[in-house]
Amino acid sequence: MINLIKIYKKILKSPILIFKSLKGFLSFSVRFSLIISVIRFYDRKLKLQGEIAKNNGYAKLNLSSTSTKHLNKLFNESFYKKKKLYLEPSSLITFKEIFDKLNPMIINYIGKNAKLDNIMFNLTTKEHANSKASSNWHTDNVGARLKVFICFKGDGSQPTYIIPSKTKYPKMFYFLKSYLMEVFRWLGKSNKIKIKNEISLIHKTGTINVLDTNLLHRGCYENATKDRYELKLEFSDPAKHFFARRVLLSPIGTEKMYSFFFHKDFLKLNSFSSLLDQKRTYKKLKDHYLYNDFDIL
């Protein structure tokens, strides 16, 4: 009797599952066609020079041990207490190192309109292998956008796999391959297959990995032997935000939950302040600015 009920429930559920998969498949297909037409139009204006372009979409750097330790301290002060990120003068040296290293790379790749979107702490564990979003092969469906992973605690057992493009900006053939690889997750299936030419970005204490999320990538969490702690930053050209967010419903720009405060002294840090979008910078408190995308949210 119990078995019969189970079978009955399964039969009842299958049309719902088929409908859900079909809906996911159709919305992804529409979104994909808009990316290869409209978003590519915006991305044609990218500068695509420097180290990231030389590697066709990624770069590997290192962070000093002093700054690595500082990020760990900052994480412990804010992450577990679910407090907003505050960049205080005590963090200036660390952020000077980070932005001095990143700024020329980002401007050279995205161009003079490149802006900071998000700064957030992130903790990934073995359980993230069950995540449909990041553990399967995908692109972020926003066209060119740089994500920076600064690992301040990790043993390298949770790498990000990427499929390099043969060209500075992926050609149509690469996009079609991306579509075929990603469609699985929109059908509710996982796709963690090993690909011959995949490159491994290792996240271990003191590494900085920069990735254009236009490339096919996936987080490999399934073999984790330790948790991965990182500061994640995102940069893009805001010209395409309105279309990407309003029409594609893709996650790009400054998300309200990741809005952060920075002390006025950070404005003197040119490598940091030149990447701030004035439209998202609000004087909020006596000595602090709030960085948030009120316009769109």
Q: Which residues bind Fe ion (CB under 5 A)?
A: 140
Neighbour-count burial of 83, counting CB atoms closer than 10 A to its CB (0-12 exposed, 13-18 middle, 19+ buried): exposed
Shortest distance, position 147 Cβ to Fe ion, whole Å: 7
Return the number of the residue (55 or 160) whose C-beta is nearest Fe ion.
160
Return the number of the residue (140 or 277) whose C-beta is nearest Fe ion.
140
Shortest distance, position 178 Cβ to Fe ion, whole Å: 12
- Find how far residue 111's CA is from the centre of its chain: 19
Return the number of the residue (140 or 230) whose C-beta is nearest Fe ion.
140
Return the number of the residue (168 or 185) whose C-beta is nearest Fe ion.
185
* Nearest partner of 248 among 64, 60, 39, judged by Cα: 39
Angstrom distance (rounded) from CA 219 to CA 200:
10
Return the number of the residue (219 or 238) whose C-beta is nearest Fe ion.
219
Shortest distance, position 128 Cβ to Fe ion, whole Å: 12
For Fe ion, the nearest residue by Cβ is 140
* Nearest partner of 109 among 151, 156, 158, 55, judged by Cα: 55
Shortest distance, position 140 Cβ to Fe ion, whole Å: 5
* Strand partners of residue 233: 119, 148
Shortest distance, position 252 Cβ to Fe ion, whole Å: 12
Alpha-helix residue ranges (DSSP H) falling in the chain: 2-34, 40-43, 50-54, 65-78, 92-110, 172-186, 241-246, 270-273
C-alpha distance from residue 235 to each of 65, 114, 115, 263, 296 (Å): 24, 6, 5, 20, 17
Shortest distance, position 80 Cβ to Fe ion, whole Å: 25
Return the number of the residue (140 or 237) whose C-beta is nearest Fe ion.
140
How many helices and strands in the chain, by DSSP H and E?
A: 8, 12
